[in-house]
Amino acid sequence: MSFDLAARLAARRAENLYRQRPLLESPQGPEVVVDGKPLLAFCNNDYLGLANHPQVIEAWRAGAEKWGVGGGASHLVIGHSTPHHALEEALADLTGRPRVLLFTTGYMANLGAVTALVGQGDTVLEDRLNHASLLDAGLLSGARFSRYLHNDAASLSSRLEKATGNTLVVTDGVFSMDGDIADLPALAREAKAKGAWLMVDDAHGFGPLGANGGGCVEHFGLGMDDVPVLVGTLGKAFGTAGAFVAGSEELIETLIQFARPYIYTTSQPPALACATLKSLELLRSEHWRREHLQSLIRQFRHGAEQIGLELMDSFTPIQPIMIGDAGRAVRLSQMLRERGLMVTAIRPPTVPAGSARLRVTLTAAHSEAQVQLLLEGLADCFKQLGPEPNDA
């Protein structure tokens, strides 16, 4: 017996699925230096342009002066400090829910919430395009696990008929690789009718969506009744790091008692919470960021349609260009790169086989002129890429 890692890696390469980490040699933003080359990038999730904002940086600096740099212990021991608590209260106010619990990452928030709420004898129903952390959480929980058709309330309904025990319906708010938004009113109706709970992971909705940046639930005007478990992450539009679960007093107390990824880990640095408090303030009050972003999204979609690119049904900052074949997606991404444009190719297993795409993301830090440069690059490179080989 041996671990034939070389063979596994070679197979991965042969399938055009080998992954590499580009080295970012500048702060995050539209203009970056990657692997020694200056590039105009359309691939980060810093949707409101807050990751490198001077006021957020200053809040972090001041927080470090006052609170030091390390959390020092888990929340239940002696790592839950005043800035963490203040951030939970500010996020409760943003979400209009009684309480919020801060986690160190979105991955852990999802593992923690799902595994604390359902286990053996229960049921977890997930959209088949959910983020990997939600799928992993469902499998880890030990509950009966089933996936319904993408954003399909009828498919959910038929699975709810067969559900046993406590039933948790789990969905992305904005789908991370497609950019479309979950039909939360319909999903909530189905869940409520069967006494199930709906959990929404709105990692990509908080910030860009909702009149005040409150994400999908604000967009649809849904309350805690409809979405009892609401997850947000802080590494995207908030521009910092971490995540949170918002809900009732009882939900949060349950997570504090039973969510192992909450209990058995060191709290995030308190200075980070200070930075997030500042970015939350900017996210809520600076409406121009959302408005500018929406106008860039319209500009991009209009231009891309004229080029004949296949876009997806998305009005969010995630604007994928469907390519299909993984090799072609990688080639197009490389051609853009040679022109100084960075757009990531997303391949299986992150997306279903045969649906490789370029995942364009727009942010409030981009300018109209930069989006124009992207469109010109896409027009040229797409033409050079040529028609899809017919391998039928």
Q: How far is the CB of 383 from ligand PLP (least distance, A)?
A: 32
> Does 290 participate in binding ligand PLP (rule CB under 6 A)?
no
User: Given candidates 172, 180, 190, 226, which one binds ligand PLP under the rule CB under 6 A?
Assistant: 172
Helices in 164-286 by DSSP H: which ranges? 184-193, 215-220, 249-258, 260-263, 270-285
Q: Which of 102, 143, 196, 203 binds ligand PLP (CB under 6 A)?
A: 203
The minimum distance between CB 138 and ligand PLP, in angstroms, equals 13
Q: Judged by CB under 6 A, which of 29, 96, 142, 235 binds ligand PLP?
A: 235
Tell me which amino acid residue 163 is.
A
- Residue 3's contacts (CB-CB under 8 Å, 6 or more residues apart) are none
Distance CA 319, CA 362 (A): 8
Q: What's the CA gap between 369 and 361, in Å, rounded?
A: 15
Q: Which residues of 167-178 are buried (b: 16+ CB within 10 A; e: fewer)?
A: bbbbbbbbbbbb
Per CB under 6 A, does 140 bind ligand PLP? no
Identify which range of 100-108, 143-151, 305-313, 346-354 contacts ligand PLP by CB under 6 A: 100-108
Binding segment for ligand PLP (CB under 6 A), chosen from 22-30, 113-121, 196-204, 321-329, is: 196-204
For ligand PLP, give the closer residue by CB, 234 or 274.
234
Q: Find the helix or strand (DSSP H, E) in which 356 lies.
A: strand 356-361
Residue closer to ligand PLP (CB basis): 99 or 131: 131
Residues paired with 139 in a beta bridge: none
Beta pairing class for 344-346 and 356-361 = antiparallel
Q: Single out the catalytic residue among 53, 75, 236, 366.
A: 236
Q: Is 176 an annotated catalytic residue?
A: yes
- Which C-beta is closer to ligand PLP: that of 60 or that of 382? 60
Beta carbon nearer to ligand PLP, 114 or 160:
114
Question: Can you tell me the distance from the alpha carbon of 67 to that of 178, in angstroms, rounded to the nearest whole number?
Answer: 40
User: Closest Cα partner for 255 from 131, 91, 110?
Assistant: 110
Give the Cβ contact number of residue 138 at 10 Å: 26
CB of 310 to ligand PLP, least distance (A): 22
- We find the least distance from the C-beta atom of residue 201 to ligand PLP, in angstroms, to be 5
Task: Give the whole-angstrom CA distance, residue 310 versus residue 301.
Answer: 10
Is 84 labeled as catalytic in the residue annotation?
Answer: no
Mask for 120-139, x = binds ligand PLP (CB under 6 A)? -----------x-x------
Cis peptide before 349 (omega within 30 of 0): yes
Site size for ligand PLP (CB under 6 A): 14
| Span near ligand PLP by CB under 6 A; candidates 68-76, 106-114, 189-197, 294-302 | 106-114
**Residues 237-276 within binding reach of ligand PLP (CB under 6 A):** 243
Measured CA distances, 205 to 80, 169, 175, 359 (Å): 27, 18, 9, 16
Smallest separation, CB 4 to ligand PLP (Å): 31
Stretch that binds ligand PLP, among 35-43, 197-205, 269-277, 355-363 (CB under 6 A): 197-205
Q: Which stretch binds ligand PLP (CB under 6 A): 13-21, 198-206, 217-225, 279-287?
A: 198-206
Which tokens belong to 320? 């994928």
264: which DSSP letter?
A: T
CB of 203 to ligand PLP, least distance (A): 3
The CA distance from 337 to 331, in Å, is 10
Tokens read off for 153 = 């309330």
Catalytic residues: 176, 204, 236
Residues that bind ligand PLP (CB under 6 A): 105-107, 110, 131, 133, 172, 176, 201, 203-204, 233, 235, 243
